[in-house]
Amino acid sequence: MKNTSYSQIMREHGVRLKKRLGQHFMTDPGLLAAVAGTMVLGDEWVAVEIGAGLGTLTRILCTRARQVYALEIDRELEPAVSDITGEFANLTWIWGDALKYDLSGQTLKETYPTAPLVLCGNLPYYVTSEIIYSAFTGRPAWNRLAFVVQDELGRRMAEPPGSRQFGRLSLWCQYRSRVKVERKIPRGAFLPPPKVDSCLVTMDVYSEFPLTVQEEQVLDEISRKAFSQRRKTVLNSILPLFESKGELLRLGDQYGLDFRKRPEDITIDEYITLARAAAPIISSRS
């Protein structure tokens, strides 16, 4: 379908895009095919698409995946969506807030115990980080996450420690997965065009994680404190989590951790070591 075809369908059904929902849809067939091919790697895959919108990407995902679940909050799009995606038997629409859905994928895994699972979509910019944190909480069942996101945010997710752009989201994504920015997507590829460029980022989820769920909660607490005060040393920013500076320094000496560094200069392995060592201390006081 051409861009004008989607515009015509929107006019026929009186669809008006809502700026507050961050609605910007990809419509170019070549781009949609490339993006869908990166999201779904084979016809045995089951896909959950967040922010499916008009279904422009959804219909291409349906040609590649075993089953597609399309999540969309704006039910006023339903008549237009029926025209665009009604032909696909392997598609289920779920109308509502994606953040109220089980974004860990565990419920879906019970239905498809052997199928590879992907959480994907062209995410509204205002809710991107919240969706990723929700998807990566506990023990996610996904094999892959693949999102179109704001270009700056996507590159920050992939930034290594030592970079000024490395932050809490970078740590959370890279602890869980192998992160890769696949391609830049110019703002002109969307209807209507957003103010900034986007990128397609993939996260191949590791089959095992080095920390327990309880230790991951401590890692989250530590990273929240550390990156909320980036100009401070880690020693000063995470000190409120401990009884005294002496207690924290002894922990650093015992495990070879230099808390005089800024949070972006601590490696992921060092954060893991810190969370594992601090978990008994912090958890006993909560």
The 10s digit of each residue's pLDDT in 116-131 is 999 999 998 888 999 9
pLDDT at 18 over 60: no
Q: Tokens 């490339």 — which residue?
A: 34
Across residues 254-259, what is the average pLDDT? 95
Question: Which two tokens mark 77?
Answer: 């799009």
Rounded percentage of the chain residues whose pLDDT exceeds 90 = 77
The model's confidence at residue 19, banded by pLDDT at 50, 70 and 90, is low
Torsion of CA 264, 265, 270, 274, to 10 degrees: -60
CB within 8 Å of 30: residues ≥ 6 apart: none
CB within 8 Å of 48: residues ≥ 6 apart: 68, 69, 71, 101, 105, 108, 117, 118, 119, 120
Across residues 202-224, what is the average pLDDT? 96
CA angle 49, 53, 58 (to 5 degrees): 45
Q: What is the DSSP letter of 66?
A: S
The domains located in the chain, with CATH, are 3-205 (3.40.50.150), 213-283 (1.10.8.100)
Residues 92-97: contacts with CB within 8 Å, 24+ apart?
92/67, 92/68, 93/52, 94/69, 94/70, 96/71, 97/73
pTM (whole model) above 0.75: yes
The model's confidence at residue 84, banded by pLDDT at 50, 70 and 90, is confident
Q: How confident is the model at residue 7, as a pLDDT?
A: 65
Q: How confident is the model at residue 11, as a pLDDT?
A: 66
What whole-number distance in Å separates Cα of residue 223 and Cα of residue 230? 10
107 exposure class (CB count in 10 Å sphere: 0-12, 13-18, 19+): exposed
Across residues 213-236, what is the average pLDDT? 94
- Mean confidence (pLDDT) of the chain: 92
pLDDT at 278 over 50: yes
What whole-number distance in Å separates Cα of residue 142 and Cα of residue 155? 21
